[in-house]
Amino acid sequence: MTGELGQLAVCFALALSLVMAGAGLLGARADQAAARSIANGAAMGMLVFVALAFGVLTYAFVVSDFSIALVANHSHTSKPLIYKISGVWGNHEGSMLLWVLVLAIYAALVAGLQRGGERLTSASLGVQGLLAAAFFLFLLFTSNPFGRLDPAPFEGAGLTPLLQDIGLAIHPPMLYAGYVGLSASFAYAAAALMVGEEGWTRAARPFMLIAWIALTCGMALGSWWAYYELGWGGFWFWDPVENASLMPWLIATALLHSALATEKSGAFRTWTLLLAIGGFSMSLIGTFLVRSGLTSSVHAFASDPTRGFFIMILIALAIGGALALFAWRAPTLKGGAAFEPVSRETTLLLNNVFLIASCACVFVGTLYPLVLEAFNGTKISVGPPYYALTFAPIFFALLLLVPLGPRLGWKRGDLKAAWRSLYPALGLAVIAAVTVLAIITPRSVVAAMAFAVAGWLIGASILDLRRRKGARASAFAAALAHAGLGVTLLGVTGTTAWRSEALTVMAPGETIVVGPYTLRFDGVTEVTGPNYVADRGHIALMDGGKVKAMLRPEQRFYTAEGQSVSDTAIRTTGLRDLYLALGDNRGGGRYAVRVYVSPLAPLIWLGALVMALGGMLSLGGRLRAGARAPVAEAVAAE
Amino acid sequence: MTKSLFLFLMLMAAAPVAAQSPASSGAVSVGMSFSDPAMEARARNLQRQLRCLVCQGESIDESNSPLAGDLRRLVREQMVAGKTDAEIQDFLVARYGDFILMKPPVQPNTWLLWLAPFLVLGGAGAVAWITVKKAAARAA
């Protein structure tokens, strides 16, 4: 019965999304106030029904209702509650339901906040209604989460053990909040093209920020998960699915910067619109890559050509429609701000140039092999060395420019003064590079350069924070986000350049030395978890003759799914990780053990956190300003 | 179960390499390794350049799959046989195709792949240049 309730709720939500699309688009006309009320109501109603459908599915997972095929295929009674819940989106159908839930939340927010005026809001809701309708149809016709099994099996098939992890329980909702968050900017941009309203960037900015924060956190979570779960100490693999989240992030970052220029000085009007369209297009393409089964990874739950085809049509309509609207309406926009070559506008433009080029690297690197194979069957692979030669130098160039931007005025800046004010940051950069070259082995020029850039970024941010004491939240926010980039760069460099490792077979009582650590293997015991059995290694971190700490990496065997997964043991000082993974039993109590010592690894995720904090600070400032003052005043205060 | 069986087979298969390598001591690590650090570093570097054909995302240096183990063994056998890095890569490409290389070769069907990022950079740069020129003309 509950399953049918969920199904019915999705059907109602589809109907409401169509109402929202029609009424919203009609409400873009000044004299259609009634249509606008209907669109607002439909947005709220749609959220209610999608939430109901999602609640029903979650309930089915929690109570292990195996008469629903999805639950039977992806859950198991022995799973801990949290993984029963996260199992809802640990599969294709459920994750698409989550996708439309997030879409409905954003539509309800757009309707509730009414930013940028009634007509702009209404037209945005119209666009969001169209998107939602397309995804509801996709859900109902190719990915129904509520399909039944008769007779219902006695037990479910379980969830891939790799996904039974707290990081991966939060990672998809976070990433979807980012992906779908870009749909709000997309809708606002399309609405602005219809209504011709200026100030859409201001209306859409909180949504851009939320999407960007969520993408940043989502990617960081995903990379952190890969680090501790896959057992190889790596944090980024340039996997197509990782790339699928990196591309929207790069475009969202470009959008945040370009929209700032549009809002503050009226520059790059058409370009910002195009970026808003491009950002969500990247989200859609990412979804296509992941959901179509074109790429094989832990994320590709099912390969079904119908779904891929459906999403491809959806992408073509969404992107094509938006671009057609753009081509039709953009020429009517008032364009052409006036600014001097040395100005903040120029730095923001350069920011966009480098971000677009970085995104192009990822885009081509991800799609080229697929296209080539489809074209003439040639298989090539594009791995990390490609990105090291293309993405890395372009992104490096961008990072060099970052500190200059906030120091140049709008319209006209003083390059000499900006440069002079950056001397301390330059000093920090030189010190960082020299220290690295002088002290740390193995000596690496690339690492020294990376440290110089990180010092340059962090130094400039510290100067910003000091210089603007008591200043606006937005300046602090930018400084924090830029500092976060530097911190992440330190982490990436540290682990890449100076990681030491040992792959060895150890007998009980044996000790090894890896980097500064002495480790003693104390054997393995068997333990039983809620839904797995594990070999738990006991490895003592020695200090002199004494045991300083015990580390317990596990090799878990999930009985329901019949798969093994390693559970690493990581001991961190905050600046260095000692990372242990237990391998296979080699007989006689001997086990394979992998040890990594990763200097600065935690900084990778700390930096992302700092970036996200910067975003949140900016968001907070925006919402407060929005609540406090009418538009004109708030702009003046920025 | 199957996994440990595979690893066992892999180790069995690896045994001849350890015997061939001139200074193979008792300290055999996971899989197989040369006791000469320079040789080992060379092998690891080569392994990182080669993609596991089964898991696709990982290099044969990282992958747990039995095929990756076979490929690691192959790389090391070739090294023992005195082949250069380039010869080993060529050998593997002849056998498995370009797909095995993490770094796509620069050849006519990958020119676009290698050039595209810089074409976009150049194009975007040109647009930016024109935009700034126009804006400056308006400001003047």
Same domain membership, residue B118 and residue B88: no
Q: Cα separation of A95 and A143, whole Å?
A: 10
State the Cα–Cα distance between residues A128 and A52, nearest whole angstrom: 19
Q: What is the CATH number of the domain that holds B42?
A: 1.10.8.640
Interface probe for A, chosen from B5, B12, B30 (most Cβ of A below 10 Å), is: B30
* CA dist., res. A25 & res. A43, Å (int): 13
The domain A1-161 is classified under which CATH number: 1.10.357, 1.10.1740, 1.20.120, 3.40.390? 1.20.120
Mean pLDDT over each residue of chain A, to the nearest integer: 89
| Residues B6 and B67 reside in one and the same domain | yes
For residue A462, the one-letter residue type is I
Range(s) of the domain holding residue B78: 2-100
Say whether both B61 and B89 belong to one domain.
Answer: yes
- pLDDT for the residue B33: 72
Q: Which residues of B89-125 are buried (b: 16+ CB within 10 A; e: fewer)?
A: beebeeeeebbbbbbbeeeeebeebbebbbebbeebb
Give the pLDDT confidence score for residue A471 in this predicted structure: 62
Domain count, chain B: 2
Do B90 and B114 fall into the same domain? no
Q: Where in chain A is the domain with CATH 2.60.98?
A: 500-601
Q: Using CA atoms in the order B18, B19, B21, B25, what is the torsion angle rounded to 10 degrees?
A: 70
> Which fold is adopted by the domain A500-601?
Tick-borne Encephalitis virus Glycoprotein; domain 1 (2.60.98)
Same domain, B51 and B116: no
Question: Is B2 within 8 Å of chain A by CB?
Answer: no
Distance from CA of B4 to the nearest CA of A (A): 7
Query: Mind listing the pLDDT tens digit for each residue in B86-133?
Result: 999 999 999 888 888 989 989 898 999 999 999 999 999 999 999 999
Identity of the residue numbered A503 = L
Are A611 and A480 in contact by the 8 Å Cβ rule? The answer is yes
Q: Taking the model in full, what pTM does it have?
A: 0.90
Contact state of B49 with A378 under an 8 Å Cβ cutoff: no
- A-facing residues of B in 98-127 (CB < 8 A) are 98-105, 109-110, 112-114, 116-118, 120-121, 124-125, 127
Pick the more confident residue, A183 or B69.
A183
What residues in A contact B101, CB-CB < 8 Å? 380-381, 383
In 3D space, the residue among A87, A89, A225, A93 whose CA is nearest the CA of residue A157 turns out to be A87
Q: Are residues B94 and B126 in the same domain?
A: no
| Token pair of A56 as six digits | 């029903």
Report the distance separating Cα A592 and Cα A535, nearest Å. 12
Residue type, A289: L
Q: How many angstroms separate the CA atoms of A106 and A99, rounded?
A: 11
Contact with chain A for residue B95, Cβ under 8 A: no
In this predicted complex, what is the ipTM? 0.88
Same domain for B28 and B93? yes
**Which residues of B are less than 8 Å from A234 in CB distance?**
62
pLDDT along chain A (638 residues), means of 10: 89 97 93 93 97 96 92 89 91 92 97 91 96 94 89 85 83 92 95 87 94 96 88 83 93 95 89 94 86 57 68 90 92 81 93 96 92 84 92 95 91 90 94 92 88 96 79 82 96 91 89 91 91 92 90 89 85 91 86 91 95 94 68 41
